[in-house]
Amino acid sequence: MANSDNPTLSRRAMLGGVAGSAALATVARANDPAITEMQEWTQYLGDGVDAAPYGVPSEYEADAVRRDVPWLTADPVSSVNFTPLHKLEGIITPNGLCFERHHGGVAQIDPAMHRLMINGLVDKPLVFTMEDIKRFPRENRIYFLECAANTGMEWRGAQLNGCQFTHGMVHCVMYTGVPLRYLLEEAGVKTNAKWIMPEGADASAMTRSIPLDKALDDCLIAFAMNGEALRPEQGYPLRIVVPGWEGNMWVKWLRRIEVGDEPWHHREETSKYTDLLEGGKARRFTWEMDVKSVITNPSPQAPITHEKGHTVLSGLAWSGRGNIKRVDVSIDGGRNWRPARIDGPSHDKALHRFYHEFDWDGSPLLLQSRAVDSEGWVQPTKDALRDVRGTESIYHNNSIQTWHVRKGGEVENVEVG
């Protein structure tokens, strides 16, 4: 582990600090029932290998679940639930915890009856079965997907109490799929083609316009996530992966790709997924997800439970424009910043995990994190973002989040001026 980029935390200083605080474990007590009493699990045989053909987490982890916000859910078939970011480690989201956003419920598709059509400005309109698609060369790539509306409820002020709700419209998995370029080459794209329009087979028949350049660059037609078939919620049997760009473009249950010479201006790119500015103008075609980060622990759903001493702060950072070069954290509301330690793989357009270990004196804190990406973009404060975009927006809020840690370790969502 190299701490050379973190002058405040040499290995020696860290170990010294841990030993010095002397509060990382209790001295063994003779009357601790967890040691002195025979627990049930040591007295009886456990479950056999036939108990769980598809494994599930320990019953003690029942809290690590997707949750919705009742007042945001008029009808569950056109709504959203959120990834429990405060319960996760590393950079990969387990399949069963990836947030879901759908506009017409989860389509349950028989893969034998599923087809992908490519039509429009192509030499030969084609139809692929799932088997056809699996005969093209595959690639495995790790990407985050973030809904453009993630953190949208926080534009005008601190509102939702938990990073699950403020930032949980993001997930990051390894996709297996075929580069879209191969399928388009097979159909033969005409020289005047400039756009593609993926379409979903669900009841909402979701459509978005995507520039052909992006489609030929790094889009994937994915059929697997984290090593297994896509989950129905995530678009089984096929979805388009649009790396770094807003989640709405990642059409699920993908059944058709039309090739055209201009954008279609469908609902999802006109009345929705445009950013209303002060004065009534709107930004459109805001596809890239900007550099962003959030502290996941401590956070409102994950308070500090020890009195003081050595404390591990953990969080996530990502950018749709590349990878994360640096994350700084502040424990005093942005007055002083320290470099956080990024740990684990650093992939372009994927989540990054960061940590900051510090000695908590038990007094109130204002926790913030600020990420910088490989293109040099710096995550803005809320005020800086509002200065440019006003307060009417929902989409593309990548501003710095503040958590207020109270004396007893409880955490709440706040804003600092």
- Residues in the interface with ligand MTE (CB under 6 A) total 21
CB closer to ligand MTE, 117 vs 378: 117
Q: What are the DSSP calls for 193-254, one per residue?
A: --EEEEEESSTT--B--EEHHHHHHT-EEEEEETTEEPPGGGTTT-EEE-TTB-GGGS-SSE
Reading the block at residue 278, the tokens are 């002060």
162 makes contact with ligand MTE (CB under 6 A): no
Distances in Å between the Cα of 392 and the Cα atoms of 36, 79, 202, 277, 291 are 60, 21, 30, 6, 21
Binding letters toward Co ion, positions 135-164, x by CB under 5 A: ------------x-----------------
CA-to-CA separations, 218 to 21, 180, 249, in angstroms, rounded:
49, 8, 14
Question: Which listed option, Co ion, ligand MTE, none, makes contact with residue 250 (CB within 5 to 8 Å by class)?
Answer: ligand MTE
**Count of C-beta atoms within a 10 Å radius of residue 19:** 10
Nearer to ligand MTE, 248 or 381 (CB): 248
Answer yes or no whether residue 234 interacts with ligand MTE by CB under 6 A.
yes
d(CA 128, CA 255): 9
- Picked from Co ion, ligand MTE, none, the partner binding residue 251 (CB below 5 to 8 A depending on kind) is ligand MTE
The answer to the question of residue 319 lying near ligand MTE (CB under 6 A) is no
Backbone angles phi, psi at 106, to 5 degrees: -90, 115
162-191: which residues touch Co ion (CB under 5 A)?
Answer: none
* In the complex, least distance from residue 15 CB atom to ligand MTE, rounded to whole angstroms: 41
User: Between residue 92 and residue 111, which ones bind ligand MTE under the rule CB under 6 A?
Assistant: 98-103
User: Residue of minimal CB distance from ligand MTE?
Assistant: 200
188-207 binders of ligand MTE (CB under 6 A):
200, 202, 204, 206
Peptide bond between residue 211 and the one before it cis (omega within 30 degrees of 0): no
- Given 155, 250, 287, 318, the residue binding ligand MTE (CB under 6 A): 250
252 binds ligand MTE (CB under 6 A): yes
Rounded distance, CA 182 to CA 240, Å? 13
Q: Using alpha carbons, select from 127, 234, 241 the residue that is nearest to residue 177.
A: 241
Q: Tell me, residue by residue from 63 to 102, as one string, x for binding to Co ion by CB under 5 A and - for no binding.
A: --------------------------------------x-
The footprint of Co ion on residues 230-259 (CB under 5 A) is: 247-248
CB-wise, 202 or 218, nearer to ligand MTE?
Answer: 202
DSSP 295-362: EEESBTTB---SSSEEEEEEEEEE-TTS-EEEEEEESBTTSS-EE-EEES---TTS-EEEEEEEEE-S
- Interaction site with ligand MTE (CB under 6 A): 98-103, 145, 147, 171, 200, 202, 204, 206, 233-234, 247-248, 250-253
- Interaction site with Co ion (CB under 5 A): 101, 147, 247-248
